[in-house]
Amino acid sequence: MTKPAIKIFLALALVCVPQLPVLAQSGPSYEDILAGFSDPERWLTYSGDYSGKRHSPLAQITPENVSTLRPIWTFQTGTTTRGRGFETTPLADDGVLYVTGSNNLAWAIDARSGRTFWRYRRNLPSDLTYGASAPVNRGFGMLGERLFMVTLDAHLLAFDRRNGDILWDRELADYQVGYAATLAPLVLEDKVIVGISGGEYRTRGFIDAFDPVSGERIWRFNTIPGPGEPGSETWPDDPAVLAAGGGGTWMNGSFDPDLNLIYWGVGNPNPDYYGDSRPGDNLYSNSLVALDADTGELKWHYQFTPHDLNDWDSNHMPVLAEIEWQGQPRRVVMLGNRNGFFYVLDRVTGELLLGKPFTATTWARELDADGRPIILNDGSQGCLPDPWGSTNFMPPTFYPALELFILTARETCATYVPEEPANTPGQSNFGGTAVIDAEQGSGALRALDVHSGDLVWEFTYPSPTFGGVLSTASGLVFAGDHEGNFMAFDAESGENLWHYQTGSRIWGAAAMTFMLDGRQLVLIPSGTTLTAFALPD
Partner 1 sequence: MTLRDFIPHLPGCASARFILLGLLSCLTSISQAQSVNPLEGNSRAITGGGSLFRAQCATCHGADAKGIATIDAPDLTMIWSERDLSVSEVFSTIRDGVPGSIMPPHKLTDSELWMLVSYLQDVAVAGVTDLPAGDVAAGAEAFRMNCSACHRAHGQGGSLGPNLNAITTRRSLESIMASVRQPSVIIGRGFKPVRVVTSGGEEVQGVLKSEDAFSLQMLDERQRLRGFQKTELQSLERLQQSVMPPFSRTALSDSDLYHILNYIQSGAAQ
- Enumerate the active-site residues: 311
The 10 Å Cβ neighbour count of residue 186 is 26
Residue 406 Cβ, how far from partner 1 at the closest point, in Å? 16
Residue 295: CB minimum distance to partner 1, A: 37
Q: How far is the CB of 466 from partner 1 (least distance, A)?
A: 10
- Look up residue 239 and give its amino acid: P
The helix or strand, by DSSP H or E, that contains position 309, with its residue range, turns out to be none
Q: To the nearest whole angstrom, how small is the minimum distance from the Cβ of residue 31 to partner 1?
A: 41
Q: Which is nearer to partner 1, 74 or 433 (CB)?
A: 433
Q: Are 249 and 242 in contact (CB under 8 A)?
A: no
Sites for partner 1 among residues 499-528 (CB under 8 A): 499, 501
Only segment of 23-31, 47-55, 369-377, 423-431 that touches partner 1 (CB under 8 A): 423-431
Tell me: does residue 459 bind partner 1 (CB under 8 A). Answer: yes
CB of 100 to partner 1, least distance (A): 18
Site for partner 1 in 135-164 (CB under 8 A): 135
Of 56, 285, 392, 429, which lies in the binding site for partner 1, with binding defined by CB under 8 A?
429
What binding mask, one character per residue, do residues 68-87 give for partner 1 by CB under 8 A, x or -? Answer: ------------xxxxx---
Of 154, 221, 204, nearest to 183 by C-alpha is 154
Using rule CB under 8 A, residue 482 touches partner 1: yes
Residues 6+ apart with CB under 8 A from 228: none
Instruction: Give Cβ neighbours of residue 126 (< 8 Å, ≥ 6 apart).
Output: none
Neighbours of 345 (CB within 10 A): 25
Pick the binder of partner 1 from 481, 509, 510, 513 (CB under 8 A).
481
Q: Which stretch binds partner 1 (CB under 8 A): 3-11, 56-64, 296-304, 453-461?
A: 453-461
Q: Give the bridge partners for 445, in sequence order.
A: 408, 459
Binding mask 106-135 toward partner 1 (x if CB under 8 A, else -) reads: --------------------xxxx--xxxx
Q: What are the contacts of 295-298 at 24+ separation with CB within 8 A?
A: 295/219, 296/207, 296/209, 296/218, 296/219, 296/220, 296/221, 297/221, 298/221
Number of residues that bind partner 1 (CB under 8 A): 45
| 442 near partner 1 (CB under 8 A) | no
State how far the alpha carbon of 330 is from the alpha carbons of 134, 324, 333, 401, in Å. Answer: 38, 6, 10, 16
**Candidate ranges 112-120, 325-333, 477-485, 516-524; the one touching partner 1 (CB under 8 A):** 477-485
The string of DSSP letters for 218-256 reads EEEEESSPPTTSTTGGGS-S-HHHHTT-B----S--EEE
Q: How far is the CB of 197 from partner 1 (least distance, A)?
A: 14
Q: Is 298 in the site for partner 1 (CB under 8 A)?
A: no
For residue 388, the minimal CB distance to partner 1 (Å) is 10
Per CB under 8 A, does 432 bind partner 1?
Answer: yes
Task: Determine contact, residues 95/526, Cβ cutoff 8 Å.
Answer: no
Task: Go through the chain and tell me how many residues it has.
Answer: 537
- Shortest reach from residue 202's CB to partner 1, in Å: 12
Alpha-carbon distance of 454 to 413, in angstroms, equals 23
Is 105 a binding residue for partner 1 by CB under 8 A? The answer is: no
- The yes or no reply on residue 495 touching partner 1 (CB under 8 A) is no
Candidates 156, 487, 512, 534; binder of partner 1 (CB under 8 A) is 487
Footprint of partner 1 on 378-407 (CB under 8 A): 387
Angle value at C-alpha 152, between 425 and 202, nearest 5 degrees? 20
The helix/strand count (H/E) of the chain reads as 4, 37
Applying CB under 8 A, the span of 257-265, 281-289, 355-363, 427-435 interacting with partner 1 comes to: 427-435
Return the residue of 143, 320, 321, 434 that touches partner 1, per CB under 8 A. Answer: 434
Q: Helices (DSSP H) in 358-450: which residue ranges?
A: none
Within 178-217, which residues bind partner 1 (CB under 8 A)?
A: none
Reduced 3-state DSSP string for 116-173? EEEEEECCCCCCCCHHHHCCCCCCCEEECCEEEEECCCCEEEEEECCCCCEEEEEECC
Report the nearest approach of partner 1 to the CB of residue 148 (Å): 26
Amino acid in the structure at residue 328: Q
Pick the piece of the chain touching partner 1 (CB under 8 A) from 156-164, 189-197, 242-250, 413-421: 413-421
- Residue 214 exposure: Cα atoms within 13 Å on the Cβ side: 6
Q: Which is nearer to partner 1, 48 or 387 (CB)?
A: 387
Residues lying near partner 1 in the complex (CB under 8 A): 80-84, 126-129, 132-135, 387, 417, 419, 421-422, 426-436, 438, 441, 459-463, 481-485, 487, 496, 499, 501
